[in-house]
């Protein structure tokens, strides 16, 4: 859920980078905040969005048969940035 500070009249701005892995069973592990936004409420909202989505669907059988154990992702979250 987005924090109230990203909506008018405040329109707080920020961007952050979170790294995490999706395991074979769809669970999310190995999370780390790579680049903080400078605003704790924005960081927590992004973090909570990932945690709240776990478990995700299991990784495809083809991925596992090919030797994959997890899918590592780095995701940017951007709030109210100028176009």
- Per-residue model confidence as pLDDT tens digits over 6-40: 999 999 999 999 999 999 999 999 999 999 999 99
Distance CA 29, CA 55 (A): 10
Of 20, 79, 81, the C-alpha closest to 53 is 20
Distance CA 55, CA 6 (A): 27
CA dihedral 23, 62, 64, 18 (to 10 degrees): -30
Residue 77 phi, psi (nearest 5): -120, 130
Per-residue confidence band for 1, with pLDDT thresholds at 50, 70 and 90: confident
pLDDT of res. 79: 96
pLDDT of res. 82: 86
Of 82, 81, 53, 57, the C-alpha closest to 71 is 57
4-79 fold: 3.30.1150
- Per-residue model confidence as pLDDT tens digits over 41-77: 999 999 999 999 999 999 999 999 999 999 999 999 9
């Amino acid at each position: 859920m987005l924090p109230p500070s990203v909506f008018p009249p405040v329109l707080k701005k920020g961007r952050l980078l979170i790294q995490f892995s999706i395991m074979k069973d769809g669970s999310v592990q190995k999370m780390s905040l790579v680049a903080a936004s400078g605003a704790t409420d924005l960081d927590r909202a992004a973090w909570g969005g990932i945690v709240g989505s776990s478990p995700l669907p299991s990784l495809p059988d083809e991925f596992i048969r090919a030797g994959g154990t997890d899918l590592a992702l780095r995701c940017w979250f951007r709030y109210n940035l100028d176009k």
